[in-house]
Each structure stands twice: as C-alpha cells, then as structure tokens.
Amino acid sequence: MGRQTCPMRMEIKGQAMDVAFEALDARFGRMRDYLARLQGARRMPRRADLDPMAFADLLPFVNLIDVVVEDDAVRFRFRLVGTVQSEAAELDYAGRFVDDVVDPVSRPRVLEDLTRVAATCRPRYGRYGMPFPGRGFIDSERVFYPLSADDRMVDGILALHHYPDRALAPRITPQGWHLNAWRQALGRFPL
C-alpha cells in the first residue's frame, strides 16, 4: 500500500481547513501562516524551505517526521525531536520510527493522525493524553502539518506540540537551542 498523490490542494487559510485554528493556542495559527507563506502557489511547503530562525521560540516543541515507504508500506520516522519532547519522554527518539517508540496505548491514534496527513495533504489536529515516565498521562495537543518536496506526495510532517501543563515549559531559551543541530537533522536521512 504505497503512497498516492494527494487528492487536492491543501487549503491552510480557507474555510476548507479541518483545523479550527482560531480556537487553538496562537502558536498553531502562527505556524500555519508561516507555512502558507512558504507554500506560495504550491500545494504544500517544502521541508527544505523551513528556516528555523523564523520560529526559533517554537523549536523545543517541534518534531520533524519523515514519511518513509518501505516494501510498499508507509512508516513514519522522527527526523528531529524538540528538546521539550525529548525531556518529557526522557528519551531521544530522533532517527527512530513512531511504531518503535510511541507508547502502545497512544500509538494507534498517532499513526492514524500521521496517516491521514500523508493521505490528504492537510494539517490534522489532535488532543489526547500522552504517557510520560513518572507523570502518567499528560494532556497534550498538536497539529501535524504536511511537507512535500515534489508537491504531489507528503514526504515529511512538521508536528507542533503544546502542553497546557506548564511544567513542561522549556528550560532553555530559544537562543539556547542549537540551530546547528536543526540544520544537521534536516540532512540526516535521505528521502
């Protein structure tokens, strides 16, 4: 079951959007607007066009996920994991597949969200508890935004997370984030 071409132009500013951004934390709308500027006349923005300085304050909450086709099956691999994500999970899971590291209770929902983004070329919102060591399930919300190099199929997903639990706020400032690590991660795995 390989990837298919996306069925329609991604509308990230119009009424056709499934995500009601105005009802969410402002960071989600800000990322939507940034990606819309990158998208231009394309159906989806390219991962290669992302400038981490444009959203440096959000980097601790961002994951980049590769859409990988292997033996006619689609899998999702974490290319880059924000520092808040790694600290909360007490695990650096960059380079690992979602189905290998996401808790079995949450895995079906996460995979469903990622699969829908890859199939529809549209952002997807999710809010559900994620298990974290020693803290049980923590309320979290995220929007998965599609990325595409060829403007036909989703080959990457930018995941932006928000935790209403302020205890998961980053302990570093955006200036403390290693932008070189971001740039290295962008080239870590071939598509």
13 assigned to some structural domain: no
Q: Which of 179, 131, 189, 184 is nearest to 155 (CA)?
A: 189
Measure the CA–CA gap between 96 and 98, rounded to whole angstroms: 7
Residue 5 has a pLDDT of 57
Q: Which of 157, 154, 159, 108 is nearest to 3 (CA)?
A: 154
Residues lower than pLDDT 70 in the chain = 1-18, 88-89, 131-136, 165-191
Residue 162 has a pLDDT of 86
Residue 9 has a pLDDT of 38
Residue 48 has a pLDDT of 93
CA angle (93 as vertex; 20, 48 as ends), nearest 5:
60
pTM recorded for the entire structure: 0.81
Residue 163 has a pLDDT of 80
Give the count of domains, the chain: 1
Residue 177 has a pLDDT of 43
36 assigned to some structural domain: yes
16 assigned to some structural domain: no
Q: Quote the tokens at residue 143.
A: 């929007």
Residue 92 has a pLDDT of 78
Tell me the residue range of the domain where 111 lies: 21-186
Instruction: Please enumerate in sequence order all residues whose Cβ is within 8 A of that of 3, keeping only pairs 6 or more positions apart, or say none.
Output: 67, 69, 74, 118, 153, 154
Give bridge partners of residue 67 from the DSSP assignment: 76
CB 109 within 8 A of CB 3: no
128 assigned to some structural domain: yes
Residue 94 has a pLDDT of 86
Residue 32 has a pLDDT of 93
Q: What pLDDT digit, counting tens, does each position of 14-35 carry?
A: 333 467 888 888 899 999 999 9
Residue 85 has a pLDDT of 74
Measure the CA–CA gap between 45 and 167, rounded to whole angstroms: 32
Find the CATH number of the domain harbouring 118: 3.30.450.20
For residue 140, the tally of other CB atoms under 10 A from its CB is: 21
